[in-house]
Amino acid sequence: MPGLRILHVDSGREWRGGQRQVLLLARYLREHGHEPLVVAYPDAPLIKRVRAAGLAASAMRTRGDWDLAAVRRLRALVHTWRPNIVHAHDARSHAIALAALLGRSDPPPLVVTRRVPFVPRGRLKYGPRVTRFIAISQAVRHALLAGRVPDDKIDVVYSGVPSPELRTPRDWRAESGWARDTVVCGVVGAMTAEKGVQLLAEIAEHLSDQARLRARIVLLGGQASGAARLGGIPAFRAGFVDAVHDAMAGLDVLWHPSRAEGLGTSVIDAMALGVPPVAFAVGGLPELIEHDISGVLVPPGDVPGFAREASSLITDTTRRARLAEHGALRANDFSVERMAAGTLDTYNRVLRDHPAHAARNGLGRPV
């Protein structure tokens, strides 16, 4: 029986957690007999990686939430390709997909993934024209509910990461000329205020004296590169790193001072690699990290508390090893297979209520 035709739309111009989820989902769908088509920004990392994986892709430039040229482009794709479902993966794609489907006599169901734990605004975008929302955590679900999205239109599907693929773990001590007994603390992801980067120097300043002597900091992400100092502690800005598992495997502790997090796939990656995380208990992170079992959670905004826990992990090798062991086990609960299976469950649930689109291309009942 033919598989589903899913039109995925993502407007991101950078390579971040959401774009990675789109690629992982599309690859899984193709491997399991479905037909994904990914619409992404021209020359963005996502579209390059989709094409490199041999997946179908279409470029669409987007300049705003209601970009009419992008709306016409997507509307034409829907008309010619005739997907069973349109799946929008970010806020801008959500708006453009809504506009592209307006006025059609038989629009395909629209599924929207929501990845941020902020209360949404706008009755048009979050009204009845969206068939179903996928929230990547209960925290995101609660934000949607606060935005007056009906509970029966929301599915929670946790993000997933693949099993680590290690080639040669980075030796940050050797690369940076640091002593062998130092402890490498890493920060991974976009180097933005939302991710708490501006707090790093303050956290470093609050470390215990013993921890300050041993700590070294590596920043994986952003544009800057080279040696630096944060709060008086030697640091290295590695910039964007493509072989992220190799880079993260060279860390001893993950610092994740994000102020808002839908879930935190970089935290899952770290846990899978046996790198225990310290994070503020915001967004979906408490659903991922079991405090003092698979990582450490700190009250939101408590910089001195973050520094105390970070100091403990720097100086207490036994605690660090215990958290690393349990973190690797916990990461198994957030696999690509579970994410993709949950997404397929949403597709099938949607199509049971839209039999015309389930039957398109000879599908009959969705599977």
Amino acid (one-letter) located at 366: P
Q: What is the pLDDT of residue 189?
A: 77
In 34-90, at which residue ranges do the beta strands (DSSP E only) sit?
Answer: 35-40, 56-59, 85-88
CATH number of 5-160+335-362: 3.40.50.2000
Instruction: Kindly provide the b/e burial profile for residues 279-307, where b requires at least 16 CB atoms within 10 angstroms of the residue's own CB.
Output: bbebbbbbbbbeeeebbbbbeeeebebbb
CA dihedral 8, 12, 15, 17 (to 10 degrees): -70
Does position 17 have pLDDT exceeding 60, yes or no?
yes
Backbone conformation region of residue 218, classed left if phi is above 0, alpha if psi is from -120 to 50, else beta: beta
In a 3-state reduction of DSSP, which class is residue 228? strand
Q: What is the pLDDT of residue 112?
A: 98
Asked if residue 124 lies in contact with residue 314, where contact means CB atoms within 8 angstroms, the answer is no
Task: Tell me the pLDDT band of 273, cut-offs 50, 70 and 90.
Answer: very high
Q: What is the pLDDT of residue 225?
A: 80
The mean pLDDT of the chain is: 92
Span 58-69, mean pLDDT? Answer: 91
Domain ranges of the chain: 5-160+335-362, 172-331
Task: Tell me the pLDDT band of 83, cut-offs 50, 70 and 90.
Answer: very high
CATH topology agreement for domains 5-160+335-362 and 172-331: yes
Does position 1 have pLDDT exceeding 50, yes or no?
no
Give CA–CA dist 134/164, Å, rounded: 25
CA distance readout (Å), 63 to 27, 70, 93, 139: 27, 8, 11, 29
pLDDT in tens, 319-341: 999 999 999 999 999 999 999 99
Does position 363 have pLDDT exceeding 70, yes or no?
no
- Give me the long-range contacts of 43-50 (CB less than 8 A, separation at least 24): 44/12, 44/13, 44/14, 44/15, 44/19, 45/14, 45/15, 45/19, 46/10, 46/12, 46/15, 46/19, 46/22, 49/15, 49/23, 50/23, 50/26
Task: Tell me the pLDDT band of 366, cut-offs 50, 70 and 90.
Answer: very low
The pTM score is 0.92
| Residue 115, phi then psi, degrees to nearest 5 | -115, 0
Q: Which CATH number fits domain 172-331: 3.30.450.20, 3.40.50.2000, 2.60.40.10, 3.40.50.1980?
A: 3.40.50.2000
Q: If you ran DSSP here, which 8-state letter would residue 360 be given?
A: G
Task: Tell me the pLDDT band of 243, cut-offs 50, 70 and 90.
Answer: confident
Q: What is the pLDDT of residue 117?
A: 95
CA dihedral 221, 224, 229, 233 (to 10 degrees): 10
Q: What is the pLDDT of residue 358?
A: 58
Q: What is the pLDDT of residue 195?
A: 66
Question: In 10 A of CB 152, how many CB atoms?
Answer: 7
pLDDT in tens, 90-138: 999 999 999 999 988 889 999 999 999 999 987 788 888 999 999 999 9
Q: If you ran DSSP here, which 8-state letter would residue 134 be given?
A: E
Q: What is the pLDDT of residue 367?
A: 33
